[in-house]
Structure 1
Amino acid sequence: MTQPNQPSGYAAKPWLGLLSPAQRAPVSPPPSLLHAFREAVARAPGRTALAYFDGRVGYAETDALSDSVAGHLAAHGIGRGDRVAVMLQNTPHFVLAVLAAWKAGAVVVPLNPMYKAGEIGHILRDSGAAALVCDGRTWTAYGAEAARGTAVRIALTASDRDFQTRDDPRVFAPAEPEAAPEAASEAAPEQAPAEPADPPAPADPPTPADLTAVARRGHPAPPDPGLTAADTALISYTSGTSGTPKGAMNPHGALTHNAVRQVTGHPLPEGATYFALAPLFHITGMVCELGACFANAGTLVLAHRFEAGVVLEAFLAHRPAYTVGPATAFMALAAHPEATADHFSSFQVLSSGGAPLPPALVERLRAAYGFYLRNGYGLTECTAPCASVPVHLEAPVDPGSGTLSVGLPGADTLVRILDEQGAEVPFGETGEIAVRGPQVVPGYWGLPADTAKAFPDGELRTGDVGFMDADGWLYVVDRKKDMINASGFKVWPREVEDVLYTHPAVREAAVVGVPDPYRGESVKAYVSLRPGTSAEPQELSAYCAARIAAYKYPREVEILPVLPKTTSGKILRRELRDRG
């Protein structure tokens, strides 16, 4: 480990030598994405900002519609620092609601639209949200009840069928909720997070107004709130793959920094078309799709929620240049019987984030469809990416573990690997990944103890285990909490999963530890199979046993139709672990 007074190898940022000149050059992001949006309106008022099936909304129209919604919010007392919860799929309403909240000076609390009443109520109470924007069916079914007894005093509802004429039953049929997935302080972000106040709770939920009707009513916008880079833009509740979700306070400057870095790192022409594959309520979609699109005055293609056939059709209809999504989404697209190389031919950059990317999947996609899927790494707490694979390079695979690198940190970012005592370990050794940079949030909403633990001296301790090679390539091994102890040996699920993904029949894989009276813990794998293939559990277990050490291979394999996932595409190991 690095000794006191010894220079740090990580501080030298060895990855700088591999970045392009554009990636190394300093950036001067606007103070907020609202500023970036207004700059795009000024540059290209007639350009399509939002494409939603056969609907098109230009930049100037998007500006006017969101002005009217902002005026409505302000007229109902929503102002600087208030929280506005937005719980919508990838539709124009989501974008209008977010812009309107920022124009009113409010903080956006993005909610997963798959949440049910208890989950919604928890976040509404925790954030102290004064307004809720959601789908009309959601409000009627359980949103109103969830808002009862909270600080919500204004509600706006939306219909997914607005802003387009196509009515695709694959998209707009009511969705079954997934398992549990994944608010702003008056204090400046550099200060310790303040405890949220307890506002008086209305006796009954408010009567909702229709968002589209409000947007078209022509309300004047409120006075410019004067947002700064230090103001809180989002309170993003961390994806609940474990424990109770916590609200990370993402500053406006963190969003614009990463959004502008996305633009400088991807040589797309101004006005390029971005496809929203990741959900916009997730930090990846908010920054890498919505934020980058506005920073580049581009067109954002929306397709409600993920349905593989609908997404492939949209690829052909809109010919996007960029998208980002979890590995599971690309698995589903590749498994669709109508998928061809032409569906992906317009893309200049395809990125994966939010879930591990197996090397076998990258090569399978390249062989079948002709594109290279670029890995990336980030967390809600660092406002999406803190490492990615530059467009002029391909990610190496570690020869020892078979792990695909998640990329190189950015020029403004410092990534270190630390031992249990917080000291740096040498290049090549595993430890906890720590991140420092302008994209790291100041802390969690109303949780000073958790903030102090996760952000000592402003540095994010991610809870992820990984290592970095001497050139600066970062590798994520797994989550600290997911390590399996089999007979005293450490087993990282990712290593076993990556082997399973090389089997031609495996579509999805997740490995967990299960109690074992002899070993303490034993390795168990859950898999789903690719359409048109077959495999027996014993076959998959033997396949792994032939490729990894005896203590690592799964003694038990269970085949499921699909594996449980969050809406952002992360496989829920916790839920599988609970199955036993």
Structure 2
Amino acid sequence: MTSLYAARPWLGQLTEAQRAPVSPPASVVHAFRAAVLRAPDRTALAYFDGRLSYRETDALSDSVAGHLAARGLQPGDRVAIMLQNTPHFVIALLGAWKAGATVVPLNPMYKSAEVGHVLGDCEAAALICSDRAWEAYLRDTAAASPVRIALTACELDLQSRDDARVLAFERVPRPADTDDLLAVARRGLPAPGGREPAPDATALISYTSGTSGTPKGAMNTHRGITYNAERQRTGHPIPEGAGYFALAPLFHITGMVCQLAVCAANAGTLILAYRFHPGVGGDAFVEHRPAYTVGPSTAFMALAAAPGVTREHFASFRVISSGGAPVPPALVAKFRDAFGPYLRNGYGLTECTAPCASVPPEREAPVDPVSGTLSVGLPGPETVVRIVDEEGAEVPFGRQGEIVVRGPQVVPGYWRRPEATAETFPDGELRTGDIGFMDPDGWLYVVDRKKDMINASGFKVWPREVEDVLYGHPAVREAAVVGVPDPYRGEDVKAYVSLRPGAEATPEELSAYCAERLAAYKYPRQVEVLAELPKTASGKILRRELRSRH
């Protein structure tokens, strides 16, 4: 049977430049060194009032690589990095890669048991973290793991503002049982020879969030990272040397690829602000005038609600992308009306090294007239996205099914999980677990996660559809919809919302608002208003945490 999707109808929506082949560098290290040759004195990293040039960052990371090699780190060994968006993260990352290591990024919000699982599962040889985290609990966690090399840093270093909105902590005494990351970096050691990253080597073991079981490590290759970075660099009209604001955390695949890797490929300035805070971010936009940023829709909701944020804060941006969480059409409209930029939707997973579909800069995503869902964009020219049914057979354009992806950015599998790899990547194609559809022109629409579907008296309810309606209410800032147990219907639809500053709305009012716009089995009969909805560090709303309340 001829495949509908193999014809790649989305190619007709792309420009000739966007369809053209790309030649990505072998690794981010290769891209960074090329930037050093082109612009050695350009600022590579801006951290509040701190600045490091490409030449300085290259030398500092060389020395970290030399130190790791001298401590016995071998090519292919795993180095876990648990730091916020600071220059220390980038220096450690480049240093580990220059030493031939595979990097394991860790969420700084992880607790001891979560870190311990990852360190043991990947058999980490080294851990690089903050002094505070080491003293608080990571010393004991590392002692019970394979870690034999530890470097720590104070994230107050390399800047002098100590912005209390995000840097609300004090220095701790230097741990006596670790090496100081900056002291090592300033030692002037050369990087070891013969350890250049190979394109097909594993660059990252990126652990999934564990929403459906024990976290698994997706093996992102150097080639996969630079392919997606180069596709983004050539597809976005951003001048070389421009500023990239790191809104998404660098330990997350979106921040790693769409901010750090793209910035290096474009010899740009990576603007760091420890962690996302709307006020801090707004100040950084005015100070550094970035041309690009990417983050979840929740971050842009927070920016839109922050006091004092105006159109002027966004005046320098050429492209703003949103990924990692669905973007309601109402948010796109509100954001453009208030601040000017159009939020460009995108879609990807850790398992496909961030994006596999996005909205080109000169286009706007269509809204499906039936469901009201905003498209997440068009696949790239070397990517094939298909929609399949429960048996894996393709469904026609416009019909919902599971999204599956094949392309150069798809990872080869999970770290030491052959059964999970075989299940998720049959014949090298990624089964995403997301439900969506594609229109005849190649625009992709994501409906929801397969496992998040609500079954109310036998009727399927997708939370995303209800959430999009709630976002149309002027008082709603954030919304999440989950299924909760119901003795009669099996499951009932419940909505959790947070309100915009100064806005008021009762649960009854919000339920009635939805009832006017949705079928009787879809609208939430239960609505609960919270001050904040629980989120991951990358900004995704945690539906599973809301479900666990029941």
TM-score of Structure 1 vs Structure 2, range by shorter chain: over 0.9
Within-5 A mapping of 1:322-333: 322-333=292-303
Quote the Cα distance in structure 1 between the aligned partners of 2:304 and 2:178: 41
Matched AA of 1:113: P
2:210 and 2:306 mapped to 1: Cα distance? Answer: 29
The answer to whether 1:267 aligns with 2:237 is yes
Q: Do structure 1's residue 89 and structure 2's residue 84 form an aligned pair?
A: yes
Instruction: Report the CA distance between 1:465 and its aligned residue.
Output: 0.3
Is the partner of 1:125 in helix, strand or coil? Answer: helix
Q: One-letter code of the match for 1:279?
A: P
**Structure 2 residue matching 1:375: 3-state secondary structure:** strand
Quick one: distance in 1 between partners of 2:282 and 2:121? 38
Shift of the alpha carbon at 1:37?
0.7
Q: CA deviation at 1:67?
A: 0.6
Matched, 1:140 2:110: no
1:567 maps to 2:502: no
The answer on 1:350 being equivalent to 2:320 is: yes
1:335 alignment counterpart:
305
Whether 1:56 and 2:61 are equivalent positions in the alignment is no
In structure 1, distance between residues paired with 2:323 and 2:211? 16
| Residue identity in the other structure for 2:73 | I
Matched, 1:75 2:85: no
Contact 2:205 2:415 in 1 (8 A): yes
1:12: Cα distance to partner?
0.4
Aligned counterpart, 2:221: 251
CA distance in 2, matches of 1:63, 1:78: 20
The residue type paired with residue 126 of structure 1 is D
How many angstroms does 1:240 deviate by?
A: 3.1
Whether the aligned pair in 1 keeps the contact of 2:98 and 2:196 (CA below 8 Å) is no
Letter of the 1:150 counterpart: S
2:343 equivalent to 1:373: yes
**Are residues 1:237 and 2:207 paired?**
yes
Which residue is 1:279 aligned to?
A: 249
2:397·2:438 contact (CA, 8 Å) conserved in 1? yes
Aligned to 2:330: 360
Residue identity in the other structure for 1:162: D
Contact 1:477–1:494 (CA<8 Å) still a contact in 2?
A: yes
Could you say what the CA RMSD is over the residues aligned between the two structures, in angstroms? 1.1
Displacement after TM superposition at 1:129 (Å): 0.4
Q: How far off its partner does 1:174 sit?
A: 4.8
- Whether the 8 Å contact between 1:350 and 1:374 is mirrored in structure 2 is yes
SS of residue paired to 1:172: coil
Q: In structure 2, how many angstroms separate the alpha carbons of the residues matched to 1:274 and 1:23?
A: 21
Cα deviations across residues 335-367 of structure 1 (Å, max 9, x unaligned)? 001110000010000000001101100000011
Gaps of 5+ in 2: none
Residues 1:9 and 2:4 are matched in the alignment: yes
Counterparts of 1:30 and 1:172 in 2: how far apart (Å)? 35
The one-letter code of the counterpart of 2:492 is S
SS for the counterpart of 1:146 is helix
Paired position in structure 2 for 1:519: 489
Distance 2:343 2:534 in 1: 23
- Say which of 403, 415, 423 aligns to 1:433: 403
Deviation readout 1:417-464 (Å, 9 max, x if unpaired): 000000000000000000000000000001100000000000000000
Match of 2:99 among 95, 101, 104: 104
Q: For residue 132 of structure 2, what is the amino acid of its counterpart?
A: R
The amino acid across from 2:305 in the alignment is A
Work out the CA distance in 2 between the residues paired with 1:206 and 1:440. 42
Structure-2 separation of matches of 1:320 and 1:241: 34
Aligned equivalents of 2:196 and 2:357: distance in 1? Answer: 31
1:459 aligns with 2:454: no
Q: Is the 8 A contact 1:359 1:397 kept in 2?
A: yes
1:283-321 CA distance string (max 9 Å, x none): 000000000000111110000011111110000000000
Q: Distance in 1 between matches of 2:232 and 2:10?
A: 17
Q: Which amino acid aligns with 1:231?
A: A
Q: What is the CA–CA distance in structure 2 between the aligned matches of 1:399 and 1:330, rounded to whole Å? A: 25
Question: For residue 286 of structure 2, what is the aligned residue in structure 1?
Answer: 316
Q: From 18, 21, 39, give the equivalent of 2:16.
A: 21
Q: Distance in 1 between matches of 2:177 and 2:11?
A: 54
CA deviations on 1:377-401 (whole Å, 9 max, x unpaired) are 0000000000000001000011111
Q: Structure 2 CA distance, aligned partners of 1:242 and 1:403?
A: 25
- Of structures 1 and 2, the one with the larger relative CO (CA 8 A, separation 6+) is 1
* Map 1:460-479 → 2, pairs under 5 A: 460-479=430-449
Task: Give the aligned residue type for 1:139.
Answer: W
Distance 2:232 2:40 in 1: 23
Give SS of 1:579's match. coil
From the superposition, tell whether residues 235 and 206 of structure 1 become closer, same or farther in structure 2 (CA, over 3 Å).
farther
Cα deviation, residue 243, structure 1: 2.3
Give the equivalent residue in structure 2 for 1:43. 38
Supply the distance in 2 between the matched residues of 1:365 and 1:497 (Cα, whole angstroms).
17
TM-score, with structure 1 as normaliser: 0.93
C-alpha contact 2:244 2:259 (8 A) present in aligned 1: yes
Indicate if the aligned counterparts of 2:67 and 2:189 stay in contact, CA closer than 8 A.
yes
The SS at the match of 1:535 is coil
Give the % identical residues: 74
In the aligned structure 1, how far is the partner of 2:277 from the partner of 2:407? Answer: 36
* Map 1:157-556 → 2, pairs under 5 A: 157-174=152-169, 207-556=177-526
Letter in 2 for 1:364: K
Per-residue deviation, residues 35-76 of structure 1 (Å, max 9, x unmatched): 111111111111110001111100011000001111110011
> Aligned AA for 2:15?
S
Q: Using the TM superposition, give the Cα deviation of residue 217 of structure 1 relative to its aligned residue in structure 2, in angstroms.
A: 1.1
How many Å apart are 1:18 and its aligned residue? 0.6
- Measured in 2, the distance between the counterparts of 1:238 and 1:261 equals 24
Q: SS where residue 137 of structure 1 aligns? A: helix
Separation of aligned partners in 2, 1:544 and 1:481: 23
Q: What SS does the corresponding residue of 2:57 show, helix, strand or coil?
A: helix
Q: CA offset at residue 79 of structure 1? A: 1.8
Following the alignment from structure 2 to structure 1, what is the Cα–Cα distance between the partners of residues 194 and 15? 37
**Secondary structure of residue in 1 paired with 2:74:** coil
Q: Match of 1:170, SS?
A: coil
Shift of residue 206, structure 1, vs aligned partner:
9.3
> More deviation in 530-539 or 166-175?
166-175
Moved over 6 A (4+): none
Deviations 1:199-225 (A, max 9, x none): xxxxxx992111011111112211131
CA distance in 1, matches of 2:169, 2:254: 25
**Alignment partner for residue 120 of structure 2, among 100, 119, 125?**
125
8 Å Cα contact 1:351/1:373 also seen in 2? yes
What SS does the corresponding residue of 1:227 show, helix, strand or coil? coil
Q: Secondary structure at the match of 1:570?
A: coil
Distance apart, 1:272 and its partner CA: 1.1
Contact 1:432 1:461 in 2 (8 A): yes
**CA displacement at 1:160 relative to structure 2:** 1.1
Q: Which 10-residue stretch deviates more, 237-246 or 209-218?
A: 237-246
Consecutive unaligned residues of structure 1, counting only runs of 5 or more, are: 1-5, 176-204
- Change in 2 beyond 3 A, CA 1:18/1:430: same
SS of alignment partner, residue 257 of structure 2: helix
Q: What amino acid is aligned across from residue 211 of structure 1 in structure 2?
A: L
CA contact (8 A) 2:466 2:514 kept: yes
Distance 1:45 1:302 in 2: 19
Q: 1:154 aligns to what?
A: 149
